[in-house]
Amino acid sequence: MSDRNPQDPVGPDPVPGDPTIPTPLEDSPGSSPYVTAEPQMERQLDSDVKPDIGKRAIAAIIDGAIAGAVGLIPVIGGIIGALYILFRDGFDFEFMSGRSVGKTLMKLRPVRLDGGKMDLATSAKRNWTVCLGSLATFLLIVPILGWILYVPVLIAAIVIGIIEIVRVIQTPDGRRWGDTLANTKVVEVAE
pLDDT digits (tens, 9 = 90+) for 147-166: 899 999 999 999 999 999 99
Alpha carbon 146 to its chain's center: 33
Query: Considering the entire predicted model, what is its pTM?
Result: 0.71
pLDDT (average), residues 67-84: 91
Domain ranges of the chain: 52-188
Residue 80 pLDDT grade (very low, low, confident, very high; cuts 50, 70, 90): very high
Q: Tell me, what amino acid is at 126?
A: R
Reported as a single tens digit per residue, the pLDDT across 81-122 is 999 999 999 998 888 888 999 999 999 999 999 999 999 999
CA distances from 178 to 3, 110, 145, 167, 183 (A): 60, 11, 27, 10, 8
In terms of Cβ atoms closer than 10 Å to its own Cβ (0-12, 13-18, 19+), residue 68 is: middle
**HSE toward the beta carbon, residue 50, CA cutoff 13 A:** 13
